Amino acid sequence: MRNACSDTPGIATGWPFFGEEEDSPVDLRQDEIERLDNRIDVLSKTFLGLTVSCARCHDHKFDAISLNALATDQPIAALLADLKRCGLLEETLVLWAGEFGRTPFVQKEDGRDHNEFGFTVWMAGGGVRSGTTYGGTDEWGYKAVENPVEMHDLHATILHLLGLDHTRLTYGFGGRDMRLTDVYGRVVREIMASA
């Protein structure tokens, strides 16, 4: 975002991809990083979404986690610092998540497979208590065993932090009451700044 302290409210979303071709190696040249700024559209304030493209991550033989970390760690730290400096962090929810985790072990030559049993999501600002760790995996990092949070719980918590009661987002469809969190979802108040 070019002027993080402007009065223009916005939702920022983007799809950064480092390297022109899907099969090209990740190139962290400065001009590639600067182009990231041109792929972020500022729309409104309170929600910031940034998606890191990882087409090569589906080739389990190539684990792009370390390269993605190189491309995102410093920019995310700078984003959080800018939001805090401008007084926007308390009202902006920053969520960093993937669609699944990776197994802590390798399958033959295929690398690390998808793991839906234990993975990390982190949030900052937007009513989340700073420095809080909630939950944990077994000693192998394979399965959540301490305070597991289901996806319905995560969605209910995000909606709550955005000022929405997930239980009131119910509509009738096909003779059944439906909502974003289905009939589940517990707001995880233990991670909130004011529980």
Tell me the pLDDT tens digit for each residue of 50-109.
566 554 555 555 556 677 777 788 888 998 999 899 898 998 899 888 778 888 887 776
pLDDT at 62: 54
Q: Which amino acid is at 147?
A: N
Is residue 1 one of the residues assigned to a domain? Answer: yes
Residue 45 located in a structural domain: yes
Share of the chain above pLDDT 90, in %: 32
Residues 6+ apart with CB under 8 A from 54: 64, 68
pLDDT at 61 (0 to 100): 52
Question: Residue 188 CA to chain centroid, in angstroms?
Answer: 16
- As a whole number, mean pLDDT of residues 110-127 equals 87
For residue 130, the model assigns a pLDDT of 92
Per-residue model confidence (pLDDT) at position 54: 54
End-to-end CA distance of the chain: 31
Residue 79: inside a domain: yes
Residue 90 lies in a domain: yes
- Domain presence at residue 163: no
pTM of the full structure: 0.70
- Residue 178: what pLDDT? 86
At residue 42, the pLDDT reads 41
Domain count, the chain: 1
Exposure of 144 in the CB half-sphere (CA atoms within 13 A): 16
Mean pLDDT of 173-186: 87
Residue predicted with more confidence, 161 or 101: 161
The two structure tokens encoding residue 33: 């990083």
Q: Does some domain include residue 12? A: yes
pLDDT > 90? residue 26: no
Asked if residue 174 belongs to a domain, the reply is: no
110 within some domain: no
Range of the domain at 49: 1-96
